[in-house]
Homo-oligomer: A and B are copies of this chain.
Amino acid sequence: MQTIPRTPYESDHLLLDFIETKNLNWDFVLVCKTGSISSPEEDKRLQYLSALQKKGFKIKKVKDGKITFYGVWALAIIFKKYAQLLNNPDKSYLSKEEEVSPTSRIRIVHFFLSKTAIESNGKQENLDDLIKVGVFETAFPLHTKDQTGEDLKKSWARWRDLLYFQPIEEIRSYYGEKVALYFAWLGWYTTMLLYAAACGIIVLFYGLILHYDNSQISNEICAANDTIMCPLCDQNCPYWLLSDTCTYAKAKHLFDNEGTVFFAMFMAVWATVFLELWKRARAKTVSGWELYSWDEDEEELALELINDPECEIQKHEHSYWRSIVVLFGVCAVIAVLIGIAQALVIYRVVVTVSFTLSSWEFLREKANTAAVMSGAVLHYLTIVIMTKVNRVVATYLSNLEQPRTFTERENNFTIKVFIFQFVTHFSSLFYVAFFLGRINGYPGNYVRIAGHWRLEECHPSGCITDLFIQMCIIMLLKQTLSNCVEYLSPYLSYKLRIFKERRSREPAEEGSEDIAAECWRRNYRLGPVNTFSLFDEFLEMVIQYSFTTIFVAAFPLAPLLAFLNNMLEIRLDAIKMMRLKRRLVPRKANDIGIWLQVLEAVGVLAVITNGLVIAITSDFIPRLIYLYIYGPCAKGSAEGINCLAGYVNYSLSVFRTKDFENLTQISEALYTNVTECRYRDYRSPDDYSFSSQFWHIFAARLGFVILFEHVAVCIKFIAAWFVPDIPQQVKNNNLEQKKKHLLEELSKVTEE
């Protein structure tokens, strides 16, 4: 960077008037490396600070070794203007606050800091740009040691408060509305999970008692030690006995029974009621905040004008072409993400075969495990990489849309990141749930990649087992790990910073006895935060919500695990925010914004997928069809016979081993001279075409999907109508206030 010669005019202009007061509650602190006086950075710094000063800010400078702090404090005139523009007569009856609250102070100051720009080389550089080029290192508001802060530390940000309700009002007055709403929502979500978890446990116990040892189907499977099944892969897989899967079959019936159907229905209703009741809870929480007629757009506009009355307001812009580009961009990213999931599937198939043919015996024997393990590692890596890529692409696409306000930008960004992250996390799950083992063809005519590699088969005990295992891994392992990382990484880096600081501690040059400076140092030591800090927390929880609801039919324990996780998550976030990270810039909000729509979309998707899981992944429909149409009880009740007797045999098709393709090389280690083997499908034994039963069951599956979806949608609508969004009490209070205000106005006319 070239040095700009300082003109006399500019030096005049830059005469800064640092103040020495010690007892102010400083609004914001800017930090930079202590530099030489004539460096271009210092130049820009002074230019920026002087611009601030002209707008009505007091600035205090403290040198502390290699670091220099600038404390910033706003004069009352700024807030007076703000109050005049927004607390106008109409709103006065809603917002009686005479003074600006501490959170509003920080918010407004932050707005001014980030909108103040200096001219450099003909272009405007604002605070973000200055931080990027190293003129400042960072800027942050301060954690205060006042009553609220201490209260929060004592009654919220501690592990031992785990079972208590959160002090939402205090969170609000310390971190602003947005953070308070996040915690209110999280608390609400956790409470609601309790009901879902209870229902999940009941369903599991129901399965345990009625189905574990008692089920006709698992009994038949366990007894089927003369049913030879076709091999599950091409290379040296043996024939196997159906009775080998006895234990799995028993376990499977814990979560694949009519209880699951009920539970899926319950969760569909739960997801709807969840949102409806959250709207009520939100209205109640927000009702005391006097934000009814608050308009974020108007506020941003007002601040913009206070900052610079001459400024050009950005107009609303919209272009259908840009929308189309964004739409295609989003679709392209989704296609890539799904492509990656497919590539992983192919990778596993190809690698398994290569390993089987490898010369290394260990690898040859453990081919399957090795392929699955390396696939899992690759999967994890793609998630980590794509998470970063997704953010970059989402930012780029959001900018393309030219959002006008910060909220608009945030909404656009949120939706895109959520969609991308959702696809990243769920595409492999969707494959396991609905495609794995269903697009494989049949013995003698397997579907093969590039005509060579046969696709993976489901777990021997049925396709729903795979889904169950996947969900287990995600809800147990992944969640625990990510919590540990989330807590330990800021904790360790905080400790590391303290350790480093102790080692490199130089005596402060001046004002080291200053309380304010001490406070600044303490805050500087904490972990950095940014605009996305809260967004990340939200994203994490909404992805968890998706996991909990979308495949809950295959894993009834999901709500319980989510509940336990969230109990920790709340305190973990609280401790992180209060003790390990700098203070977040407070933001005003009267709801959780676009996340509500995201949750609603997840709810709709959950209804669809749960319907599909029951219809397609589970054996619920075939069992039902057998029970009522093909089974022994179809023509009236048959005494002494279980109505599902014979189901296992009925659900398996017959294959003549002489019809195997050449690519299928069977390991004859266990069974020799097998002429017929069985496989799970409904095909004619003659030409292997789909049997009448297949189409019958298929029609029933589709019918169930239609029924499930429409019933769920109806329930959703009725619930939405039945539960008012705003409680009567809140509505009536508001009405009362309005009435009071109107009567005041009326008395003015009458007096005149």
Contacts and interface: CB of A to CB of B under 8 A. Distances in A.
A180 B739 CA distance: 31
Contacts of A385: none
A738 B301 contact: yes
Interface residues on A, range: 35 or more
A702 interface: yes
Contact of A695 (B309, B317, B699): B699
B724 A318 contact: yes
Contacts of A695: 692, 695-696, 698-699
B81 A746 contact: yes
A31 B323 CA distance: 60
A178 to B, nearest CB: 23
A315 interface: yes
A749 B81 contact: yes
Interface in A717-752: 718, 721-722, 724, 728, 731-732, 735, 738-739, 742-743, 745-746, 748-749
Contact of A739 (B301, B320, B703): B301
A746 B313 contact: no
Given A88-B89, A742-B302, A749 B80 contact: yes
Contacts of A301: 735, 738-739, 742
Interface string A78-104: 001100110011110000000000000
A119 interface: no
Interface of A, secondary structure class, is: helix
A316 interface: yes
Interface string A589-612: 000000000000000000000000
B698 A742 contact: no
Nearest to A726: B316
A346 interface: no
A705 interface: yes
A430 to B, nearest CB: 15
Contacts of A696: 695
A602 B330 CA distance: 31
Contacts of A721: 323
A691 interface: yes
Contacts of A691: 692
A742 B305 contact: yes
Contacts of A703: 702
Given A90-B91, A702-B706, 20 more contacts: A81-B749, A84-B746, A84-B748, A84-B749, A85-B749, A88-B745, A90-B90, A298-B742, A305-B739, A305-B742, A305-B743, A305-B746, A306-B746, A309-B746, A315-B728, A315-B735, A316-B735, A318-B728, A695-B696, A706-B706
24 contacts: A84-B745, A84-B746, A84-B748, A84-B749, A85-B742, A85-B749, A88-B90, A89-B90, A301-B739, A313-B735, A313-B739, A315-B728, A316-B731, A316-B732, A316-B735, A317-B728, A318-B724, A327-B718, A327-B722, A691-B692, A699-B702, A702-B703, A702-B706, A705-B706
Which 5 pairs show the lowest CB-CB distances between chains A and B? A90-B90, A695-B695, A702-B702, A692-B692, A699-B699
Interface of A: 80-81, 84-85, 88-91, 298, 301-302, 305-306, 309, 313, 315-318, 320, 323, 327, 691-692, 695-696, 698-699, 702-703, 705-706, 718, 721-722, 724, 728, 731-732, 735, 738-739, 742-743, 745-746, 748-749
